[in-house]
């Protein structure tokens, strides 16, 4: 996510629980590097705002980061995430939920979520994770990360396969880098973990993107979870 240096990250919340929504609003208003741009009580209001801005102003709203609940009336957070990412592919969407079951996690990631965090996380830990998103990471709560790794371990070893059935061979290093992305690591963390430069990490990620025909970390992780990775 590109952001003007020194400018606070503009955050949007989509949350039907009024008490939790209020707590997020307070947290963001007391953080120097985040600013609450808009707060919605559900997906319908958020999508209406998005459609209205596109139609009347001929421009998209200034959102830098979206915090998304999953279980909301009328439309799930998964579907809302999918629709927002279709219009704003470069804006990270981070799920904030009480659900940590495998189905919810995989569905959210496949819909384009850039992170998956649990609501029980302490306020200071949540802010650290959101800062990681701004730095290019895809944070996952510890239990969620374990679930993602379990899913990855259970898929077929060897190569990734496109929906068309064509096998896509990744190098060992590309698989290592992609595995780090699945765990929600930032480029800097990947470089440190693998003992390579950030430029080399970026080079491997470009290779992964090209072979998988994707354009973002979320799409790469989604393809990895659906198609299989060593």
- Ordered per-residue pLDDT tens for the chain, 230 residues: 444 456 889 999 999 999 999 999 999 988 989 999 999 999 999 999 988 876 555 566 789 999 999 989 889 998 999 899 888 888 999 999 998 877 788 888 888 888 899 998 899 989 998 998 888 888 888 778 777 766 666 554 444 444 444 556 889 899 889 888 877 777 888 898 999 998 899 899 888 888 888 777 777 777 777 666 64
Q: How far is CA 57 from CA 36, 47, 52, in A?
A: 21, 15, 8
82: tokens are 């999918």
Alpha carbons 28 and 37: distance in angstroms, whole number: 10
Instruction: Give domain status of residue 148, yes or no.
Output: no
The model's pTM is 0.65
CATH number at residue 165: 1.10.10.10
Whether the Cβ atoms of residue 64 and residue 46 lie closer than 8 Å to each other? no
What is the count of structural domains for the chain? 2
Instruction: Give domain status of residue 43, yes or no.
Output: yes
55: tokens are 């139609």
Question: Are 132 and 206 part of one and the same domain?
Answer: no
Alpha carbons 128 and 51: distance in angstroms, whole number: 31
Q: Which of 216, 230, 223 is nearest to 88 (CA)?
A: 216
Residue 174: domain span: 155-227
Give the angle 195-186-107 at the CA atoms, nearest 5°: 130
């Amino acid at each position: 996510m590109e952001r003007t240096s020194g400018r606070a990250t503009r955050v949007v919340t989509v949350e039907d629980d009024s008490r939790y929504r209020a707590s997020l609003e307070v947290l963001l208003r007391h953080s120097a590097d985040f600013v609450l741009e808009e707060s919605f009580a559900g997906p319908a209001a958020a999508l209406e705002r998005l459609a209205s801005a596109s139609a009347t102003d001929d421009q998209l709203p200034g959102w830098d980061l979206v915090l998304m609940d999953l279980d909301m009336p009328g439309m799930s957070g998964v579907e809302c995430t999918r629709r927002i990412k279709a219009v704003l592919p470069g804006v990270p969407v981070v799920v904030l939920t009480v659900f940590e079951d495998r189905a919810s996690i995989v569905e959210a990631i496949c819909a384009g979520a850039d992170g998956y965090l649990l609501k029980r996380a302490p306020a200071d830990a949540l802010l650290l994770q959101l800062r990681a998103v701004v730095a290019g990471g895809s944070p996952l709560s510890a239990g969620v990360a374990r679930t993602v790794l379990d899913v990855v371990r259970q898929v077929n070893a060897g190569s990734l396969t496109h929906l068309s059935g064509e096998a896509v061979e990744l190098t060992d290093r590309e698989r290592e880098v992609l595995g780090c992305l699945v765990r929600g690591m930032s480029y800097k963390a990947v470089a440190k973990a693998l003992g390579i430069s950030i430029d080399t990490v970026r080079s491997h990620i470009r290779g992964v993107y090209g072979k998988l025909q994707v354009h973002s970390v979320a799409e790469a992780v989604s393809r990895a979870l659906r198609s299989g990775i060593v």
